[in-house]
């Protein structure tokens, strides 16, 4: 059972285990008449070959309150796109599959490139950006949710609780962040959040002083969670980060654009397990090493826009402060793990802290040497001002891809995954 704690910055919606899945879904079916709901699933093709997405699709197919599902498919050739369409035909809801590597979507990308508005690099950020653009182009949803496709512990309650605060017409919330305890295989997970983000925010407050932004970010129990929901009206002005700082970047956008009483977080799962990133100590371009650098840069850039100055001395002090706070937290986590009968590898945890401390300096160096870097993909409002009919082109591209393949699959037997 969750606790009652509220931090005063954003509303925390706990799970006391007192409302059944049936009650939640019955409510959501009623809410759907007021606020139609659409779900975004950003997926790599490789995730279709794992066990997690099959179970996710099986669960979602039983949901009756969804109006439409938008699936963004990355790293898929033509045969893989055909298989993916067959794979998602198991859903009982209407869906649209965005083939991001297909010729029609590539033509959209080329159109954007000519105006200097295309996403800078492939990845989850680009995938999510095209998906929310398509949701906005369809203009048929009011409440939108997004979650990852590698959740091994997925169930319908996760989805129901994620949608509930945004779809309930009696609530004022416009953005909701999911959170959960990262416990599996008898150990604590979520190193990037526990050992980087939490102590880093405390260190920044210690070095820079009070900041409404830092206070806002500290209020979230799991700021790196990939599960969130929002009102469609937020899409036009929403800027999406193209790198690993996607989740932190979206929270930063919410702090900039929304009143705190319009934002909440909700406990969506008792347990949560997904694929883990390697620490990647020897290569800063991969795994948690790359992720940590991108996350730190997002936070630094946000604070810089608020007038905070960063130089070599600031970064050295920040690293030292972070390192001390993070090591203290390692001891806290060790005790917490032992009290709850979990295993805890102090050496592995402190190695992660050492790497993250080094990467604070690397992020600072990157920020200092590339002050003109703009990691955010342009907002859809800006894109539409430059290309007024972009939504028509995007909608037609996706619909043409799906209609063509739907016709093709009616005459060709389903393929099997290679």
pLDDT tens digits, one per residue of 21-79: 999 999 999 999 999 999 999 999 999 999 999 999 999 999 999 999 999 999 999 99
304 falls within a domain: yes
Q: What pLDDT is attached to residue 415?
A: 44
> Which residue segment(s) compose the domain that 252 sits in?
11-409
Whether 5 is in a domain gets the answer no
Number of CB atoms found within 10 A of residue 265's CB: 24
Q: What is the pLDDT, as a whole number, of residue 373? A: 67
| Higher-scoring residue by pLDDT: 411, 110 | 110
More confident residue, 88 or 417: 88
316: in domain = yes
Q: Which of 208, 194, 220 is nearest to 326 (CA)?
A: 194
**Percentage of the chain modeled with pLDDT above 70:** 95
Does the residue 28 lie in any domain? yes
- The answer to whether residue 242 is domain-embedded is yes
Is 24 within the bounds of a domain?
yes
For residues 112 and 124, what is the distance between their CA atoms, to the nearest angstrom?
Answer: 18
In a domain, 416, yes or no: no
Q: Which phi-psi region, left, alpha or beta, contains residue 287 (left: φ > 0; alpha: ψ -120 to 50)?
A: left
* CATH code of the domain containing 399: 3.90.550.10
Q: Please, which residues bridge with residue 42 across strands?
A: 72
The count of domains in the chain is 1
Residue 414: the pLDDT is 46
Supply the pTM of this predicted model: 0.94
pLDDT at residue 410, as a whole number: 63
Query: In whole numbers, what is the pLDDT of the chain averaged over residues?
Result: 92
In tens, the pLDDT along 357-368 reads 999 999 999 988
**Closest CA relative to residue 153, chosen from 268, 249, 47:** 268
pLDDT the model gives residue 417: 44
Model pLDDT for residues 273-331, shown as the tens digit of each residue: 887 677 777 777 778 888 999 999 999 999 998 999 999 999 999 999 999 999 999 99
Whether 4 maps to a domain, the answer reads no
Long-range contacts for 251-254 (Cβ within 8 Å, ≥24 apart)? 251/177, 251/216, 251/217, 251/220, 251/223, 252/213, 252/217, 252/298, 252/299, 252/302, 254/175
Assign 2 a pLDDT band (cuts: 50, 70, 90).
low
Res. 413: pLDDT tops 70: no
């Amino acid at each position: 059972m969750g606790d009652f704690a509220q931090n005063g910055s954003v509303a925390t919606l706990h799970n006391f285990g007192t409302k059944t899945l049936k009650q939640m879904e019955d409510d959501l079916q009623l809410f759907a008449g007021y606020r139609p709901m659409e779900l975004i699933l950003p997926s790599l093709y490789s995730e279709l070959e794992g066990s997690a997405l099959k179970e996710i699709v099986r669960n979602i197919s039983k949901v009756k309150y969804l109006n439409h599902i938008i699936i963004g498919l990355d790293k898929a050739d033509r045969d893989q796109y055909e298989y993916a369409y067959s794979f998602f035909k198991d859903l009982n809801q209407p869906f649209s599959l965005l083939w991001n590597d297909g010729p029609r979507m590539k033509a959209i990308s080329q159109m954007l490139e000519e105006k200097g508005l295309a996403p800078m690099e492939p990845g989850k950020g680009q995938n999510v950006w095209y998906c929310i653009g398509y949701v906005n182009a369809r203009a048929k949803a009011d409440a939108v949710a997004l979650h990852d496709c590698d959740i091994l512990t997925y169930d319908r309650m996760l989805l129901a609780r994620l949608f509930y605060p945004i779809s309930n017409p009696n609530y004022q919330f416009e953005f909701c962040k999911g959170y959960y305890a990262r416990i599996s295989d008898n150990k604590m997970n979520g190193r990037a959040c526990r050992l980087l983000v939490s102590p880093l925010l405390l260190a920044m407050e210690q070095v820079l002083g009070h900041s409404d932004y830092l206070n806002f970010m500290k209020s979230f129990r799991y700021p790196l969670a990939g599960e969130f929901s929002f009102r469609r009206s937020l899409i036009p002005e929403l800027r999406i980060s193209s790198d690993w700082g996607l989740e932190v970047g979206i929270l930063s956008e919410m702090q900039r654009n929304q009143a705190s009483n319009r934002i909440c977080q909700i406990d969506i799962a008792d347990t949560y397990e997904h694929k883990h990133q390697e620490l990647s100590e020897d290569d800063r371009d991969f795994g948690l090493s790359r992720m940590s650098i991108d996350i730190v840069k997002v936070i630094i850039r946000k604070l810089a826009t608020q007038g905070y100055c960063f130089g070599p001395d600031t970064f050295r002090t920040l690293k030292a402060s972070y390192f001390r706070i993070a090591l203290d937290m390692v001891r806290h986590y060790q005790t917490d793990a032992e009290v709850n009968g979990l295993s805890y590898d102090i050496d592995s945890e402190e190695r992660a802290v050492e790497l993250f401390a080094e990467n604070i300096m690397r992020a600072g160096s990157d920020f200092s040497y590339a002050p003109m870097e703009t990691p955010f993909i342009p907002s859809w409002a800006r894109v539409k001002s430059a290309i007024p009919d972009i939504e028509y082109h995007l909608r037609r591209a996706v619909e043409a891809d799906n209609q063509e393949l739907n016709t093709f699959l009616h005459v060709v037997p389903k393929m099997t995954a290679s």
